[in-house]
Structure 1
C-alpha cells in the first residue's frame, strides 16, 4: 500500500515487495526503481544507468535504491495517481523535457533491440560508429539516454579488445567525465548484478606469439647469431641397469638444463649414449656367458627404454661401438703420437695364469691401500674415490675366477700429461672461472694438478675396445677412459650421419668451434679427472682448435635409505623399479631433482618421496592449476573475458613485482646450473599463485558481486598458470604438456618478466588432474619390494 509524499525533497518511502521508492507531485505519485535483481541483463544495466544518471543530474536529493523485481512495465497512467516505470520516461519526467530527437529514436528502436539480446556484439552490429553523435556535451535527456545505452559497449570509456577497430567517441569520453554522470554511473554499477552470459567455447586461440618456444630443425647446427650450447652427460656403462643415483647424477641433470636452454630459445643440443668398450663390459660378458657385442646390444636397449620412460629428451642417444668412434679416436691418438705427447713404457702388470691373460684394471679386485676397503677395483676405490694402480692393491684377486694373479712385464702407450701440464693448467684456471665449474669439480681437478701430472697409460690388454693404431699393438686396445670421452664427439658425428651436408663439417661445427659454442657437461664427481684433465689434455695435444669444457656440473652421491647404491651388487632402486611402482615419471623427476646431491651426499627415502608428492606436487602445484582451470570452465565456459587488472585487482603492481622477482631468481639459478634452487623457486611461484587466488577471494561471490575484479583475476591467474608451467617444463615436461593442453596453448618460453600472453577471447581446454595422492601404506610395500634387490 502506498503513502503519498508531499514534496520532491529528500523524503522517501520504502514499500513492500517489490522494493521501490516513490515521491509525489501534487496529487500524483511517481515511483523510481533501480533494477538490481540477481541475474540481470545488459538491458537492466542500461535502465539503471538512465535512472541513476538522471537522478544525479536533476534530482540529486532524491533517494533511489534497489528493487528486488527486475521486471519492467510499460508506462502506466492511473488517475488521480500515475506511476512511471519506463526508464526513458523517468529521465524525461525528471528533466521536465518530453521532446524527442533522432538520438532518442535511434536508441529506442535499434539499440534497445540489440541490448535485449544481452550481447555486446549485437550492439556493435548496429553500426554505432555511424550515429550522428552530438558535437558537444549537454546534460540533456537524449544524451543521458544514448550514453547509457552505449555504456556496455564502451565499458566506461575503454573500447573492448574484442572489437579492435572500435574507437571510443570523444563525446562519450567527455560525457563520462562529468562529476554528476560519474556519480550516477557509480551508483548504477554498485547495485546492478548483471547476468554473466557464457561465451561458446569453440577452441579458438588468442595469444602473443612472441613469447613461444621456437621449433627446432631436424638436425641442429650452431648459428653465429645465437647462443650455441653443446650439452653432454657422462656416458653410462652398458654392464647393468642404471639406478636412481646414476640417473640424477648425469642424464637427468643434463636433460633438465638442456630443456631449460631450449625453452629459452638457445640453440642447444643434448648428446649422450652408452659407453660400450672396456674392461667392465668384457668382464660382465664373461660372467653372463655372452659376447661383448651381445651384452652391449642388450643393455643399450635397456638403457634407452629406461631413459625414454624418464622422459630424457636426448637429441641423439648413440653408442661408442661405431666406425666413427674408431676413426675419431684413432685420429686423436695419431696426432698425439706425432706431436710427441705419447711414449712407450714396459711395466709390470698383473697376469692370471688360470685363464692366461693380462688383467686390465677392472679385472682386479683387492683391498684399497688408502682406506682399507676390501672390495676396491684395480682402477679406483668405490669407498674413498681414489684412483689406483692395480699393483697397489693389497691381496689382489682376479675378478673372473678369484685366483691370485702374478706380476709380468707388459708394454703400453702412455699419455705424457706432464708435458701438457702447463697449457692444461692455464686452460683450467680460465675455464673453471669463466664457466663457473661446480665446487667439487674444481677441488678434484686442482688436487690432481697440485700433485703434479704424470704420464698415464692409455692402452690395455683387452680384445674389446678401439684398436691401437700402432704397429706392434695389434693385441691391445685404447684404455676406456681415454676412449670414452671421445665418445661425445663420435656420437655427435653419428647424429649428423647420412644427411645431405658433409658429416665431418657438421660435427666439427660443434666440436671445433670454441668461439661460438659453450660445452656443458654433467656427471658424478668420480668422473671429473677424465673430463678436466685427461680429455682436455688430449685435445690440447692434438693441436686442433677444439671446443673444450665451459661449465662442469657434478654431483655428490645419492644414498639409498641409509645405504649405498651399487650397480654391481644390485643395491637400491633401479630405473625399471621406478616404472613398476606405477608412479608417473614426472613425480620421479621432481623428487630426484629436488633431492639432487649438488654440494653434499643426499639420501633417497620412500617416506620423503610420498610426502613430496602429496604435500608439494598435489597440494601446491596441482591445487593451483586445478582450482583456476575448473573455475574458468564453470563460470566462463573456458573463455577468457575482457579485463583491466590494473584497475580492478588491488595491489596489482606489487603482485607483478613479486612474480618478476621470483622469475629473476629462477633464471639466475638455472643459468648457473643450480638446478635444485631453480626447482625450489618454481614451486614458490606456484605458491604465489595459490596466494593470489586467496588474496582476491576468487569464488562465486566475487564472480557475482564484483564481476570486473573476477574477470581480471581469472585472466591473470590463467596466465600465471601458463608461466608456472613453463618454469616447471625442464623438470616435469609431461606435467607442463598437460598444463598446456588444459590451456589450449603451445609451449611458452620462460620470460624475463611476467607477461599476460593469453588474451581475452582465448578458449582453454578441458580440466585434468596433474597428480594423484599416494597412499602412505605404499611406503612399507615399496621398501620391502625394492629394498636393495634389483629386478632381473
Structure 2
C-alpha cells in the first residue's frame, strides 16, 4: 500500500509549563500513537518523535507565577509530561527537550544557514515595552479588549472567545500582564522571514499537491494563502531561548515557532546517527500530528523554512484534530477546567486503555467534541465491558466449560453458512480497519474493530453452545457444533487482539497472555487469518478485561472537576499558546470589574446605530464566525461576528441590533467586516444581543 521506504512521525511539542490533559491526548498524541503502532505492526521502518518545547513566553510566565527560574520550570514539567505519556502508552522512540545542547546547536545552525544565504529581512521596528519592568513585551504579555467581539481579556495575538487573530495594536485599552502598565513603543531590531516569497510555491504544493488533506487543514491553509502572506519576525527580545547566532545580539533569541519545529530534527539526531535518512531522503513519509491551532505553523511556516534551507523532506500529511471540550465548556488551564492525565492515572490505576478507548471513539477529528464523565461511563460499560470484553470472556468461559480448556477442532462436515460467514468477516474487518488507519480515520477504524466484536457476540448468541451442550447425552455428535462455534470464537478473539492493539495496547497484551502466545502474533500480516490458535492448545483461565464504572465514581470525578475550577480573578494571567489541541477559554463566571474612567468626548466618538440583520451565514472553515448583512437604513453593511457558537444563522435573521458604525474596516478570513455588533455576556458566558425593546427605524442613532 505504501511506496515509502521509511516513516517519520512527529507529535506537537507541548510547552513544558504545565501538565498535559486529555485535550492534548485527543488532539494529537493518541492518534499519532495509534498510527505508529499500526505501522510498526506492518513491520515498516518508522520513528516516532516527541519532546517538550521549553522556550518561549509560556515558560517565563509560569516561572514568574511560581517565583522560580525558567530552567526549574522546564525540568519540573518535562519530567511530569514524559511520565504522563509513558503511563498512557504513548510509545515515542524518543521524547526529547529543546533545552538540550544538540537542539540549541541545530536550531542556531538552521538560522545561520538562512542568514548566510541572505534570506532574512533585517528590520528596526517599534515594539511594545513595559517601562515598569524594563521588558519588551511578547504578544501574549499584552491583554486588552478584542475589537471584534469585545472580549476584555483578549491576548495580543489572538482572542480566545471569537478566534480572531490579532496584533497588540488592534487591542482596545492594552495592558501589560507583567505590571498592568500601559505599554509604550520602543525601537528594536529583528530578523524577518519573508513568507510572501514562498506564497506561490506553497499554493502549488498544498492547494494543488495535497488535496487529500483533511478539510479543516486544507481549508485553513487556503484561507491563509488567499489572504496573502507577509514577513514574520523569527527573533524575539528575551533572555530565555536559543540565542541568535549573530554578533551584537545580546538579549535576543529565536522565535519559539522557528525554534520548536526544528526540535523534531534535533530529537531525531539524538535518536539515531542515521537521522538524515529520515529527514533528507525523498522516500521518507513525514507526518505531523497536531491540534488545529498549530496548522499554520506546520503547514505554511515550517515547510517554507525547510524549503528555504533545502535538503529536507516535506510533510506528506498533517492530520490535525479539532478541540476537545470538557463537560460542555472549553478546556482552560488557567481556570483549571481540565482532566489532567497524571491525576486520571492516580484515580484509575491501570485504566489507560479505558481513556484511550473513549478519546478515540469520541475523537474531535472533524469538529470540536465534548468529553463528559457520563459518556465515559456509558462507553466503558456498554461498549468495552458489554461488547468487547463480554465476547472475549464468554469465549474463554465456554471453552473451559465445554471443550476442556483447549482450542477445539473445526469440523468441516458440520459447518453451516453462519460459520463460514463469520470466518469471512475476519479478512473483511482487517481491510476496513487498515484502510481507515491509512487515511487517518481513527474513529472509523476503532468502530470496525468493535463491529467485528459485536458480530462475534451475535454469532455466539445464535449458535447457543450452552444450549447445545444440554443435548449431548442424547446426541454426542453435537459436540462438533459446540467445537465449531468456540473454535471460530477463539480465532476471532485472536484477530481482535491484533486489530485492537494499536488502540488498546495493554488490553491486547492481556489477551495474548491468556491465549499463551507471543507478541509476534500482533504483526499485521496475521490479522484476517482463521488459524491463529492451534487446535488442542491449552489456554489460561478466563479473567475480565474490564470492570464497570459505577455511578459514584463518575459523580466524584464531576465534583472534583467543579471543585477545582479557578475563579476569573485568580486566572488573570495569560495561558500558553496551544500546541496540541488545547483551546484556552475566557472565564465568565462572575461580573467583570468596571473599566477605567473615560471622558465624555471618548464616548462621543462612537457612532452607534440601530440595524436589522437581513441575512446571515456561516463563514466557511471558521467554526466561530458568522457573516452578517445588516441594514442600517442608509446602506447595508457586511459585518463578520464571532457569535456562531451562540446563534444559528436562521434564528437571528430579522433581528434588530446595535452596531458600532464607525469602526475601521478589518478583514477576517478574507472578508472585509465594516462594523461591530454590540453584545452582552451573562454570568454563564452566553451572549445576548443588545437591541431596542420596540422596533425602530434602521439607522437610528443610539446615544
Change (3 A) 1:762 1:525: same
1:511 aligns with 2:276: no
Matched, 1:528 2:295: yes
The correspondence of residues 389-788 of structure 1 with structure 2, limited to 5 A, is 389-433=167-211, 436-496=212-272, 503=273, 506-513=274-281, 515-544=282-311, 546-582=312-348, 584-645=351-412, 647-699=414-466, 701-702=468-469, 704=472, 705=476, 706-747=478-519, 748-751=522-525, 753-787=528-562
Secondary structure of the structure 1 residue equivalent to 2:290 = strand
Per the normalisation by structure 1, the TM-score is 0.68
C-alpha contact 2:35 2:437 (8 A) present in aligned 1 = yes
Q: Deviations over 1:549-589 (max 9, x none)?
A: 11111111111111110123311211123123326111111
Whether the 8 Å contact between 1:572 and 1:788 is mirrored in structure 2 is no
Structure 2: how far apart are the matches of 1:645 and 1:431?
A: 52
CA offsets 1:282-336 (integer angstroms, 9 cap, x no match): 1111111111111000000110121122111111111111111122212221222
Q: How does 1:11-90 map to 2 (within 5 A)?
A: none
> How far off its partner does 1:647 sit?
4.2
Distance 1:739 1:441, change over 3 A: same
SS of residue in 2 equivalent to 1:344: strand
Backbone CA RMSD of aligned residues: 2.0
Alpha-carbon distance, 1:266 to partner? 2.0
* Alignment size in residue pairs: 556
Paired with 1:618 and 1:651, the residues of 2 have a C-alpha distance of 25
Q: Distance in 2 between matches of 1:709 and 1:744?
A: 25
Match of 2:15 among 212, 216, 237: 237
1:170-569 to 2 correspondence within 5 Å? 227-433=5-211, 436-496=212-272, 503=273, 506-513=274-281, 515-544=282-311, 546-569=312-335
Deviations 1:416-449 (A, max 9, x none): 111122222222235523xx32111111111111
- Does the aligned pair in 1 maintain the 2:126–2:188 contact within 8 Å? yes
Listed as ranges, the gaps of 5+ residues in structure 1 are: 1-223, 497-502
Query: Secondary structure at the residue paired with 2:261?
Result: helix
Distance between the aligned counterparts of 1:646 and 1:724, measured in 2?
A: 26
Q: 2:536 and 2:143 mapped to 1: Cα distance?
A: 69
Alignment partner, residue 634 of structure 2: none
CA distance in 2 between partners of 1:228 and 1:277 (Å): 30
CA shift for structure 1 position 626: 0.3
Q: Please, which runs of 5 or more residues in structure 2 have no aligned partner?
A: 567-703
> Is the CA contact (8 Å cut-off) linking 2:142 and 2:168 kept in structure 1?
yes
Determine helix, strand or coil for the equivalent of 1:771. Answer: coil
Please state how far the C-alpha of 1:710 moved relative to its aligned partner.
Answer: 1.7
Distance in 1 of aligned mates of 2:84 and 2:517 = 29
Pairwise CA distance, 1:467: 0.8
State TM-score, norm by structure 2: 0.76
Point out the more displaced range, 452-461 or 757-766: 757-766
Preserved CA contact (<8 Å) 1:659 1:688: no
SS of the residue 1:687 aligns to: helix
Per-residue CA deviations over 1:117-169 (Å, capped at 9, x if unaligned) read: xxxxxxxxxxxxxxxxxxxxxxxxxxxxxxxxxxxxxxxxxxxxxxxxxxxxx
Contact 1:367 1:373 in 2 (8 A): yes
Shift of 1:707: 1.5
Tell me the alpha carbon deviations over residues 512-551 of structure 1, each in whole angstroms, 9 at most, x when there is no partner: 11x211111111100000001110000010122x121111
Distance verdict in 2 for CA 1:306–1:468, change over 3 Å: same
**Partners of 2:175 and 2:183 within 8 A in 1:** yes
Offset, 1:371: 3.2
- Cα pair 2:356 2:504 within 8 Å, conserved: yes
Q: Cα gap change, 1:564/1:645 in structure 2, threshold over 3 Å: closer, same or farther?
A: farther
Q: CA deviation at 1:765?
A: 2.2
| C-alpha distance after superposition, 1:155-197 (max 9, x if no partner) | xxxxxxxxxxxxxxxxxxxxxxxxxxxxxxxxxxxxxxxxxxx
Structure of larger gyration radius:
1
Map 1:121-132 onto structure 2 (within 5 A).
Answer: none
Residues 1:337 and 1:645: Cα distance change in structure 2 (over 3 Å): farther
The C-alpha deviation readout for 1:605-651, integer Å capped at 9, x for no partner, is 11111111111110001100000012222333332233235743443
> Deviation at 1:485?
0.8
Contact 1:226 1:266 in 2 (8 A): no
SS in 1 for 2:24: helix
Greater relative contact order (Cα 8 A, min sep 6): structure 1 or 2? 2
Preserved CA contact (<8 Å) 2:403 2:483: no
How far the C-alpha of 1:790 sits from its partner, in A, is 6.9
Counterparts in 2 of 1:650 and 1:690: CA distance versus 1, 3 Å: same
Q: Is the 8 A contact 1:232 1:488 kept in 2?
A: yes
Q: Distance in 2 between matches of 1:225 and 1:764?
A: 40
Give the 3 Å change call, closer, same or farther, for CA 386–490 of structure 1 in structure 2. farther
Verify the 8 A CA contact 2:495 2:528 in the aligned structure 1.
no
Pairwise CA distance, 1:450: 0.8
In structure 1, C-alpha distance between the alignment counterparts of 2:195 and 2:489, rounded to whole Å: 58
Tell me the CA shift for residue 279 of structure 1.
Answer: 0.9
Q: Is residue 207–residue 218 contact of structure 2 (8 Å, CA) maintained in 1?
A: no
Higher strand share: 2
Offset from partner CA, 1:33-64 (integer Å, 9 cap, x none) = xxxxxxxxxxxxxxxxxxxxxxxxxxxxxxxx
Contact 2:128 2:136 in 1 (8 A): yes
